[in-house]
Structure 1
Amino acid sequence: MIQTTVQNKAFISSWRWVYVVLGNLVMMCLGTVYAWSVFRIPVEKTFGIGATQSGLPYMISLAFYALFMMISGYFYNRYSPRAIMTTGVFLIALGWILSAYAPNIYILTLTYGVLIGAGVGIAYGVPLAVVAKWFPDKKGLAVGLVLIGFGLSPLITAPLARMFIEMYGISFTFMILGIAFGVLLPVLTLAFRYPKESGSESNLLPDTKDRKPKDIPSDQMLKTRSFKGLYLNFLIGAMIGLMLIGMTGKIGIEYMGLSSRSIAFWMSLFAIFNGLGRPVFGWLTDRLSYPKAATLSYCMIAFAALLMLFAREGQPLLFGVAFSIFWFNLGGWLAIAPTSTLALFGALNYSRNYGIVFTAYGIGAIAGVLGSGYLLDRLGSYQVVFYLVLALCLAGTLIASKQVPLSNRKPQSPGKDSLTLSTGK
């Protein structure tokens, strides 16, 4: 009997890595939404529009992505992963296919922005929720390995999309992608299930129950000091990363004097660093605790900002090093946030809780883009952007220093309020 139990645990421990591989592939498909730059110029030519209007589908897509991440979190514990994934995939496939028939940019904004964005927001959390429950012992590493697919997606899907556009045109490319995702995503998620569905949850680890954090519902989470600190830190990290990623090309060309071809090379390299940041910081968050991982990220970003303040035209290596760090750390925050949500508030309400935490990403994107644009318009200098980054890093470090690592918190006494764990009161 004992030998059989050990064998079962070993088999389950090995089998659960399949979910990481499948989740990574799913994320590569979902991350195609980030490859909008490939479609942008063909869309401008097709509809005879400028850069402002051609950015509408992408902007709305990101907004609905963040919105439906939060909304769908309320249903993850009520329905199976496959049922939720089916809903998301239907919207994604429908959005791509209808985009092929869009007669103008406003209809394309509805099909690509609203439908695909909502579908990605619904489907995005499924691999994370599944992997989080199968890896109570390696949450950060497992979630980070899944997320690497989302970061690397443009590196793989963008060249494919560009090839299809050159061969078949923009409209038929939308159709191809819609059909491909409609077929591929359901196949990849066919095996998705939570441990409790297979009756094997207790076999994951000998000490799973002892290691499991207190599960805190969303309404109580919102009242905790830990949530407020994590939310502000994620907002700052996302704000810095999305602001600088959106300006990478302009800074490279206008500030550093690089050619468009050089920028294309650097962008491909930066995408790799963006993907690698997720498993690395997921692992670091597991090993060091969330406050230490956050502080390390801010220190790296501040160092990169200082490099750019000293960089001058004709110094591409400094540009490459600095922006590799910026992209690496944006990927890192997309692992720190979900891993910390799991560690602080438990796996039971994870999808709903992280959906709320993830709204910081959307707010950070808006604040970063509008704030940096205002500074550039008013002051006309890229250096002021890097001074802003340094100030944000200082603020984030101060907030992180006030957070108490989970490992340092005192154990709860029987009968104490469940919020003691996360508030540190």
Structure 2
Amino acid sequence: MNYEKTKQLTKKRWAVLVASCMINLCIGSLYVWSVFAAPMADYLSSVTLSAITASDLAIVFTIANSVGPVTLISGGMINDKFGPKWVVFLGGLLFGIGMIGSGFAKSIPSLMVSYGLGCGLGMGLVYGCTINNSVKLFPDRRGLVGGIATASYGISSVVIPPIANVCIHRMGIIPTFKLLGIVFILVICIGAFFIEKCPEGFVPAGYEEKMAQKKNGGKDKKEHTRIQEEKNWRQMLQDPVFYIMITMLTCGAVFGLMTISQASPIAQQMIGMSVMSATTAVSVLALFNTLGRVAAGYLSDIIGRINVLTIMLVSSIPGLLLICTSGIGDVVKFYIGVSIIGLCFGSFMGVFPGFTADQFGQKNNSVNYGIMFIGFALAGYLGPTIMNQVYSASGNYSLAFVIAIGLAVLGILLSLLYRRKTR
């Protein structure tokens, strides 16, 4: 790129980031499932004339989380060759159609196809492009921008629940799905035309000079971030560090997805909250999830990705203990616990795009991060499944949080192993 084009893109990249954030706000509604689950269970119970609970629908959320990497990887390959615009457009169509299709669901299997497969696959196409393209456009602020881009995805769980609850109360769950689907198609598909592909080797205007000044001042950014040679997905899979990182991601995501998937039922059954109060708890969890993504992303640019991840794994343990030991009426204790869990989970989501790019290079990060995201998908299966199985066996959720503490400890040990392997 010549200097003028570089200068133009350096300014335009902020508009691309804003468009990406608006799009992510829509696809982040995938994680509002706990708000949809109870009214949808009631609706299906009336249609099928059988007793269906929100826990019975946990498989829908599990599928939606599990299929994301399929399109994250395939969409990443298309993105690297042709750019993100049409990938995001098609992903937006698929996501919106999946949401609309949920408004026609008459059974759990049909909901698994519409919400689980449709929304899950659509989310993967969109998320991979918006996150990785944004990170590539900001090599000077990789952690912060990764945090902002993923935070816009997470804040959907703050913005959408109140809107969804009003719509469900006034129209019912079925019209709500259809309305949201139409709105999401419009926002994502229009926003796609504001997304511009980051050219290979793009360096923002003035960035090299700033780096030179930092080096001369003895504050080289490389002290805190490991920038390795460019590796494609095959080379990444041959690196033992990849398996440490992906397992660490799974450990850090399980407790978050476990809590998010059943946040409203947990608040109602463990703490005795009303439906509206439980919805507020979901929003608090989502708010701290969002704050964690931005704050951890920014902090990781300063003290390093692995340092932030280790701090969050350690911090998650008291948060899990607070929820685990909460009972009827322990509202403050519960709120503190979900706030900590949201903050720690969000940190993993905000840091890992930049962490992957640091370790395996920026060039192939669309595909590499898509593969790394399999760790998140595994957590999307394990978290709700553990929660559902524990509740079915014991009638409460406490043991699930004990299991999550064990996984957090495993994550801490893996972070120490990562340091040893990359020393």
TM category, shorter: 0.7 to 0.9
Within the alignment, does 1:358 sit opposite 2:373 as a pair? yes
Tell me by how many angstroms 1:40 deviates: 3.1
Match of 1:17 in 2: 14
List runs of 5+ in structure 2 lacking aligned partners: 213-221
Tell me by how many angstroms 1:92 deviates: 1.9
Tell me by how many angstroms 1:24 deviates: 1.2
> Which of residues 317, 324, 334 in structure 1 aligns to 2:332?
317
Q: TM-score, normalised by structure 1?
A: 0.84
Match of 1:343 in 2: 358
**Structure 2 counterpart of 1:39, one-letter code:** F
**Matched position secondary structure for 2:80:** coil
**Structure 1 counterpart of 2:412, one-letter code:** T
Tell me by how many angstroms 1:371 deviates: 3.4
List runs of 5+ in structure 1 lacking aligned partners: 406-422
Per-residue displacement from partner, 1:8-28 (whole Å, max 9, x unpaired)?
Answer: 876644432222222111111
Match of 1:265 in 2: 280
> Which of residues 23, 38, 46 in structure 2 aligns to 1:26?
23
Per-residue displacement from partner, 1:148-190 (whole Å, max 9, x unpaired)?
Answer: 1111113222333333344444444333333322222122221
Distance 1:172-1:251 versus aligned 2 partners, 3 A rule: closer
Distance 1:101-1:260 versus aligned 2 partners, 3 A rule: closer
Match of 2:72 in 1: 69
Distance 1:137-1:250 versus aligned 2 partners, 3 A rule: same
**Matched position secondary structure for 2:231:** coil
Match of 2:179 in 1: 176
Q: Distance in 1 between matches of 2:57 and 2:386?
A: 21
Match of 1:412 in 2: none
Asked if the contact 2:138/2:204 (under 8 Å) is kept, the reply is no
Distance 1:337-1:116 versus aligned 2 partners, 3 A rule: same
Tell me by how many angstroms 1:377 deviates: 5.4
**Structure 1 counterpart of 2:75, one-letter code:** S
Tell me by how many angstroms 1:314 deviates: 3.4
Q: Distance in 1 between matches of 2:325 and 2:92?
A: 47
| RMSD between aligned residues | 3.0
**Structure 1 counterpart of 2:208, one-letter code:** P
Q: TM-score, normalised by structure 2?
A: 0.84
Asked if the contact 2:135/2:353 (under 8 Å) is kept, the reply is no
Within the alignment, does 1:147 sit opposite 2:150 as a pair? yes
Distance 1:45-1:368 versus aligned 2 partners, 3 A rule: closer
Within the alignment, does 1:232 sit opposite 2:235 as a pair? no
> Which of residues 79, 84, 92 in structure 2 aligns to 1:81?
84
Within the alignment, does 1:157 sit opposite 2:147 as a pair? no
**Structure 1 counterpart of 2:372, one-letter code:** V
The 10-residue stretch of structure 1 (152-161 or 247-256) with the greater mean CA deviation from structure 2: 247-256
The 10-residue stretch of structure 1 (344-353 or 146-155) with the greater mean CA deviation from structure 2: 146-155
Asked if the contact 1:291/1:401 (under 8 Å) is kept, the reply is no
Give the 5 Å matches for 1:106-145: 106-145=109-148
Q: Distance in 1 between matches of 2:60 and 2:395?
A: 28
Distance 1:23-1:293 versus aligned 2 partners, 3 A rule: same
Q: Distance in 1 between matches of 2:176 and 2:398?
A: 40
Match of 1:418 in 2: none
Tell me by how many angstroms 1:332 deviates: 1.2
Distance 1:183-1:391 versus aligned 2 partners, 3 A rule: closer
Asked if the contact 1:301/1:326 (under 8 Å) is kept, the reply is yes
Within the alignment, does 1:203 sit opposite 2:200 as a pair? no
Match of 1:388 in 2: 403
Q: Percent identity?
A: 25
Distance 1:40-1:390 versus aligned 2 partners, 3 A rule: closer
Distance 1:310-1:104 versus aligned 2 partners, 3 A rule: closer
Q: Distance in 2 between matches of 1:208 and 1:133?
A: 18
Tell me by how many angstroms 1:90 deviates: 2.2
Asked if the contact 1:93/1:182 (under 8 Å) is kept, the reply is yes
Q: Distance in 2 between matches of 1:168 and 1:375?
A: 34
Asked if the contact 1:9/1:205 (under 8 Å) is kept, the reply is no
Q: Distance in 2 between matches of 1:154 and 1:368?
A: 18
Tell me by how many angstroms 1:360 deviates: 0.8
Asked if the contact 1:32/1:157 (under 8 Å) is kept, the reply is yes
Tell me by how many angstroms 1:374 deviates: 4.4
> Which of residues 53, 58, 62 in structure 2 aligns to 1:59?
62
Distance 1:369-1:167 versus aligned 2 partners, 3 A rule: closer
The 10-residue stretch of structure 1 (38-47 or 229-238) with the greater mean CA deviation from structure 2: 38-47
Distance 1:104-1:267 versus aligned 2 partners, 3 A rule: closer
Q: Which has the larger radius of gyration?
A: 1
Asked if the contact 2:66/2:378 (under 8 Å) is kept, the reply is no
Within the alignment, does 1:404 sit opposite 2:419 as a pair? yes
**Structure 1 counterpart of 2:88, one-letter code:** M
**Matched position secondary structure for 2:182:** helix
Q: Distance in 1 between matches of 2:233 and 2:210?
A: 23
